[in-house]
Structure 1
Amino acid sequence: MIAIVNVCLREGRGGSPTAVVDDAAPATLTDAERSRVPVRCGTSHAVFVTRRHPQSAPGVSTPHESRAATAPSTVDLRFFTAGGELPACGHGTIAAMAFLARQRGSTEHEFRLCVSARTFAGRAVLDGDTIHAAFDPGSVALREPASAEIDPVVAALGVGPDLLAPGACVASLGRARMLIPVATPAVVAALVPEFDRLRAACDRFGLLGCYVYSAPTSAGRVTARMFAPSIGVPEDIANANSTACLAAHLADRGVTDLRVDMGDALGSPATITASTRRCPTGLKILVGGAATFTGTR
């Protein structure tokens, strides 16, 4: 059975449908079969969830006992699109936590999430039929792109030089993607990329795609679109990891809280939240969104 979870809802509606598979017997599916799951389910991504350790027995104290109704669970996550496996997927991580929290039933849940040999923390809270989940995506590597990288990507997007804003960068969180600022939300909404050209440009520079965004308002509101033809997703309804990359990019400019609206061009409004704070070990990022179940396949 495959659960379908709508992730990163905006005011209770829309979101990105994501297939979640309880992968209790991981040897039963080949990776090629896993890549067919999102196609079969009509979703852009699928996440495969494997519980590494059983839940703690009742009465066993944990460091999080005062905040979570049950002890943290350790789970392995793998992510697939039609184009193959991904090293990380933000909205897939949120979908997995929503799936696990709903199964456990109590209100608050904490998780140790294992993705591509990295273990990090996540938390989910049930509020009626909605699950609010957030996680620490890890450190983001940022660099300034060369003009030879920017020019073909911008040309494929169809953005004129007068509509670009300064501050493009290449951000890596699992895989590299280009963050491209434009003048206004209307410019973001009007984009009509040439996907073959965009894929060729992204493949040439080792990018999974490009994330186009408008400048944040004084309240931290951003409009964005994520194009990722290189991984078989022409446009993503919601992209939490790229939003985490944007949060890291804007942190030095004093922007510490973001609410990023995506998905409108695809008829499925989505919102992702991200916050940053400085700590002794570096920049701490928290990214998340709301989710709900829509059925099974």
Structure 2
Amino acid sequence: MSLQVTIVHACQRAGQGGSPTAVVDEMPLSDAERCAVPVTAGTSHVAFISTVKNDSDRPTMSLRFFTAAGELPACGHGTVAALAVLAERAGRREYEAVLGSGGRTFLGQATRVGARYQAAFDPGPVDLRAIHTAGSGPILSALGIDPLEGLARCRIASVGRPRMLVEVSDREVLAGLAPDMTRLRDACDQLGLLGCYVYSPPTPDGRAAARMFAPSIGVPEDVANANSTACLAAHLADHGYPSLEVDMGDSLGEPAAITATTRPGPEGHTLVQVGGTATITTINSISLA
């Protein structure tokens, strides 16, 4: 079986790097075949896109995301990549769409700037909660962080699936992390987490760095993770950071950056907008066995 695959470098930094992401038009495939697409395309994730007919003037664009390990209810950089492809096909400088993914609908926008697209979307409500020592200890140990020092800087955050946010003291400590991926996967599986988003404290103007380790979904380290950045933005919204720009991907040689802004919402909820810059690089034909 042959598929046309568009490769998008999502969440680039200064026009470089970004997370290579496959975008494919929806077609009848088994889950096993869907999981094979990113492996064959040489990406960590794939976004499948299709149009859902409805009674409104704006159809909903359905998104499904897969890694080699299975389907995800949401994928931030995959959404950025899909928005770039949809905007390119629409042929408009300003593009807006209703997107459907993980059982919810939300708005996404993309603006063409030169050869790139600046995309942003609403990742949905962020659920934040504390984590106890027994739960965080094995994860921090697998990351190479002293559990006694790291517990106070941990939160569980969820947009679709939970992950653990872990603050370290600075970028140097962040860059030096060398997690034991087998132990980290086992510890995350025990708590039902997709992984750990480890970050440095933001500067006063909201600039930070982060690394996302997600061996439980078949991605030992993610080049860019927009949904986790949205979780961080919600966590820090009450600490004087209405906006963030987070550098990722340096340890993988793919510099990436994700932006997030917050504002107060109804009933005390924090509303988040997250996004990044994307470049469509190639359209390839791949074969699935």
TM-score, reference length from structure 1: 0.91
Provide the secondary structure at the position in 1 that maps to 2:86.
Answer: helix
State the match for 2:5 in structure 1. Answer: 2
Query: Structure 2 residue aligned with 1:294, among 278, 281, 284?
Result: 281
**What is the aligned-residue RMSD (CA, Å)?**
1.7
- Count residues with an aligned counterpart: 280
The corresponding residue for 1:12 is 15
User: Could you tell me which residue of structure 1 aligns to residue 182 of structure 2?
Assistant: 196
Distance in 2, Cα, partners of 1:228 & 1:161 = 19
Equivalent residue, structure 1, for 2:35? 35
Which residue identity does 2:40 align to in structure 1? R
Pick aligned residue for 1:245 from 212, 231, 245: 231
The answer on whether the counterparts of 1:165 and 1:182 sit within 8 Å (CA) in structure 2 is no
Partners of 1:163 and 1:260 lie apart in 2 by 23
SS of alignment partner, residue 250 of structure 1: helix
- Give the residue type in structure 1 aligned to 2:213: F
* Pairs within 5 Å for 1:135-214: 135-160=121-146, 164=150, 166-214=152-200
- Equivalent pair of 2:198/2:210 in contact (CA under 8 Å): yes
8 Å contact from structure 1 (residues 165, 181) kept in 2:
no
> C-alpha displacement at 1:166, in angstroms?
3.5
Greater alpha carbon shift after TM alignment, 45-54 vs 267-276: 45-54
**Equivalence map 1:215-230=2 (5 Å):** 215-230=201-216
Q: Tell me the secondary structure at the aligned position of residue 246 of structure 1.
A: helix
The one of 279, 283, 293 equivalent to 2:270 is 283
Asked if the contact 2:9–2:20 (Cα under 8 Å) also holds between the matched residues in 1, the reply is yes
| 2:133 is aligned with 1:130 | no
- Structure 1 Cα separation of the partners of residues 60 and 94 of structure 2: 15
Whether the 8 Å contact between 2:133 and 2:151 is mirrored in structure 1 is no
User: 2:197 corresponds to which letter in structure 1?
Assistant: Y
Is the 1:163–1:182 contact (alpha carbons within 8 Å) kept by the matching residues of 2?
A: no
SS at match of 2:204: coil
1:53 deviates by 3.6
In 2, Cα distance between equivalents of 1:280 and 1:242: 22
Distance 1:176 1:228 in 2: 11
Matched ranges for 1:79-98 at <5 A: 79-98=65-84
What is the rounded CA distance, in whole Å, between the counterparts of 1:138 and 1:45 in structure 2? 20
Are 1:181 and 1:214, in contact at CA under 8 Å, matched by a contact in 2? yes
Cα offset for 1:287?
0.1
Asked if 1 retains the 8 angstrom alpha-carbon contact of 2:136 and 2:147, the reply is: no
- Where in structure 1 do 4 or more consecutive aligned residues deviate above 3 Å? 160-166
1:258 paired residue number: 244
8 Å CA contact 2:77, 2:226 repeated in 1: yes
Instruction: For residues 34-64 of structure 1, give each alpha carbon's deviation from its aligned partner in whole angstroms, at most 9, with x where no partner exists.
Output: 000000011000000001249x9xxxxxxxx
Asked if the contact 1:227–1:235 (Cα under 8 Å) also holds between the matched residues in 2, the reply is: yes
In structure 2, the residue matched to 1:68 is none
How far has the Cα of 1:172 moved from its partner? 1.0
Structure 1 residues 72 and 107, CA, compared in 2 at 3 Å: closer, same or farther? Answer: farther
1:127, distance to aligned residue in structure 2 (A): 1.3
Which amino acid is the alignment partner of residue 176 of structure 1? Answer: P
Rounded Cα–Cα distance in structure 2 between residues aligned with 1:165 and 1:187: 16
Cα deviation 1:237-278 (Å, max 9, x = unaligned): 000000000011111112110000000000000000000000
For residues 71-122 of structure 1, what are the alpha-carbon distances to aligned partners after superposition, in whole Å with 9 as ceiling and x for unaligned? 7542000000000000110000111000000111111011100012200011
**Take 2:7 and 2:257, find their aligned partners in 1: how far apart are those partners?**
18
Residues of 2 paired with 1:201 and 1:280: CA distance?
35
Distance in 1 separating the partners of 2:53 and 2:255: 36
Work out whether 1:274 is the aligned partner of 2:272. Answer: no
